[in-house]
Amino acid sequence: MVKNHRTIFHVDLDAFFASSEERENPHFKGKPIVVGANPLNGKGRGVVSTANYEARKYGIHSAMPISKAWRLCPKAIFLPVNSSLYERISYAVMKILANVSEKYNGKFEQAGIDEAYIDLSNANNFHNHTYYPREIAEEIKTAIREREKIIASVGVGPNMLIAKIASDFQKPDGLTIVSPQKTQAFLDPLDIRKIPGIGPKTEIIFRKLKINTVFDLRQLDQPYLYDLLGEHGISLYESARGKDKREIAKFHETKSVSNDYTFPNDTDDLSIILPEFFPIVRRVIALFESQGFRNFKTITVRVRFSDFKTHTKSKSAGYSVTDIETIERDALRLLWHFVPHSKIIGKTPSRRKKIRLIGFRISNFS
């Protein structure tokens, strides 16, 4: 049993990118949708960002090469990543969750564009009323569905670890509540990949040892796991027993807004790079402004090269959405560190590899 438990909700938006596209295009409903790079009839580069549940029936999943996804289901609807749409919907959903947290005297933490935690450990004593986790979870799911036309799965548990695993247990549109008394019984039959922190490399190690379920993992003692995986082994020892001491931070607004673009072919040609780069900058600024913000401190340019190595360069100053020319100029100076031969600024750039992806981010809002 996990002692001193709390009541933690994990809210996960199901197939978020694909669901957002379906919301904007109702005629997509019931059809396989794949969001990611252009498949180019099976010759495209890049990967799947997300796939709806209809597409997953064909074996398509996130991070799969887009060319393979096309071969598995060429009749699927393939769509490019629409970051501004997803950021806008995410922002609205997070406001709903923050309001629920405030209503029940809780704490809210956004964990990603499509997931968040709410700590409602004090809800049962709030205003001398008794609130039940299932009722609040249904309230959350209904509010998201009715206001934003997006489906969410909710997991409730005695800590962040259990809540997150629970939210994935009955997708899509799931609701799973795990009490402290039933935590170990819930965990033991699960495949080891359900434990956050066990990725493909760690999975291979465990499979070779015939460790396939959480119950199997729990049979390994702490010294053995430490020898096998170092500090990560200690963490997994605790996770297999449903233990997680992490605390949820108080609600905070979106920390950054970003957008990126993957080129159809790796390039070092500025006549190809710049016509894509400046619209990215303007999209990010427009999205930032649409959320009610005006000022920020930091801009970051991200570049992924042909060898898949990714680099970033940032600058902090006082920026306003009204000064787009300054933002573009400074963004271009950051990009210059990564592009070859040009006379725009008049100095030799530090890198000469071809570019696969460019991105722009703003952060440190005020």
Domains and CATH numbers, the chain: 1-187 (3.30.70.270), 192-239 (1.10.150), 256-365 (3.30.1490.100)
What is the pLDDT, as a whole number, of residue 44? 84
Residue 190 has pLDDT above 50, yes or no: yes
Question: Shortest CA distance to 140 belongs to which of 173, 110, 172, 164?
Answer: 173
Catalytic residue chosen out of the listed positions 21, 22, 115, 148: 115
User: If you average pLDDT over residues 236-247, what whole number do you get?
Assistant: 93
Lowest mean pLDDT among 22-26, 130-134, 180-184, 251-255: 251-255
Residue 344 has pLDDT above 50, yes or no: no
What is the pLDDT, as a whole number, of residue 320? 87
Q: What is the pLDDT of residues 249-281, one digit of tens each?
A: 654 455 678 888 878 778 888 888 888 898 889
Structure pTM? 0.71
Of 26-40, 121-135, 208-222, 307-321, the range with the highest mean pLDDT is 208-222
Lowest mean pLDDT among 139-148, 185-194, 230-239, 279-288: 279-288
Nearest-5° angle of CA 282, CA 284, CA 286? 70
Backbone φ and ψ for 115, nearest 5 degrees, come out as -150, 155
What is the pLDDT, as a whole number, of residue 340? 62
Mean pLDDT of the chain: 87
User: If you average pLDDT over residues 8-17, what whole number do you get?
Assistant: 95
Residue 23 has pLDDT above 90, yes or no: yes
Catalytic site residue 115?
Answer: yes
Lowest mean pLDDT among 6-15, 19-28, 66-75, 329-338: 329-338
Residue 54 has pLDDT above 80, yes or no: yes
Residue 247 has pLDDT above 70, yes or no: yes
What is the pLDDT, as a whole number, of residue 49? 86
User: If you average pLDDT over residues 68-78, what whole number do you get?
Assistant: 96
What is the pLDDT, as a whole number, of residue 153? 97
The secondary structure of the chain, three-state, reads: CCCCCCCEEEEEECCHHHHHHHHHCHHHCCCCEEEECCCHHHCCCCEEEEECHHHHCCCCCCCCEHHHHHHHCCCCEEECCCHHHHHHHHHHHHHHHHHHHHHCCCEEEEEECCEEEEECCCHHHHHHCCCCHHHHHHHHHHHHHHHHCCCEEEEEECCHHHHHHHHCCCCCCCEEECCHHHHHHHHCCCEHHHCCCCCHHHHHHHHHCCCCEHHHHHCCCHHHHHHHHCHHHHHHHHHCCCCCCCCCCCCCCCCEEEEEEEEEEEECCHHHHHHHHHHHHHHHHHHHHHCCCCEEEEEEEEEEECCCCEEEEEEEEEEECCCHHHHHHHHHHHHHCCCCCCCCCCCCCCCCCCEEEEEEEEEEEC
What is the pLDDT, as a whole number, of residue 3? 43
What is the pLDDT, as a whole number, of residue 249? 67
Q: Alpha-carbon distance 44 to 263, whole Å?
A: 11
Q: What is the pLDDT of residues 198-208, one digit of tens each?
A: 888 899 999 99
Of 143-157, 193-207, 243-257, the range with the highest mean pLDDT is 143-157
Question: What is the pLDDT confidence band of residue 127, given thresholds at 50, 70 and 90?
Answer: very low
Q: What is the pLDDT of residues 105-119, one digit of tens each?
A: 888 888 878 899 999
Lowest mean pLDDT among 127-131, 194-198, 228-232, 314-318: 127-131
Output 66 or 199, whichever has higher pLDDT. Answer: 66
Output 113 or 41, whichever has higher pLDDT. Answer: 41
